[in-house]
Amino acid sequence: MPHLLSNNGGTIINMSSEAGSEGSVGQALYSATKGAVNALTFSIAKELGPKNIRAVAVAPGINEPTPMGNSQHVADLGYTRGDFKQSREKQAEKYLSNIPLRRVGRLSEIADLIIYLASDHSSYISGTVVNITGGKSHG
């Protein structure tokens, strides 16, 4: 925080999830923690806005696999949702039907959003959660 104050402001970007505002089957604790990230973002924006410090949360939905999505992670995720044998690919297919753009997000799209939010081009965006979910909401 001292760095932001000494530079006359800046942007705090928190990583949330669509689960933080919508919930997620089998992931009550994860959803609750991401909801807390959202509330923290709102409060920081109100408290630090007068010091020219913005706060924004980015809430991705289902995205392309990352190195974290190893076979154990996929098995654990399936377990939390009551499906012990479903692959990540099958999970993604299931979710595609709820995504209007009919595809998972690309990591580069999330990175592009974060770069935009950190830039002066978004200087009036603060105290909000930006969903990047391909249009999916509540379901």
Tokens 């990047």 -> residue: 132
Task: Reply yes or no on whether 116 is catalytic.
Answer: no
Which candidate in 30, 95, 116, 124 is catalytic?
A: 30
Alpha helices in 16-101 (DSSP H): 19-22, 28-48, 71-80, 88-96
Give the number of residues written for the chain. 139
> What is the helix, strand, coil percentage profile of the chain, to 5?
50, 15, 35
**Pairwise CA distance, residues 81 & 115, whole Å:** 33
Tokens 């081009």 -> residue: 121
**Pairwise CA distance, residues 35 & 16, whole Å:** 8
Query: What is the pairing mode between strands 128-132 and 10-15?
Result: unpaired
Please list the active-site residues.
Answer: 30
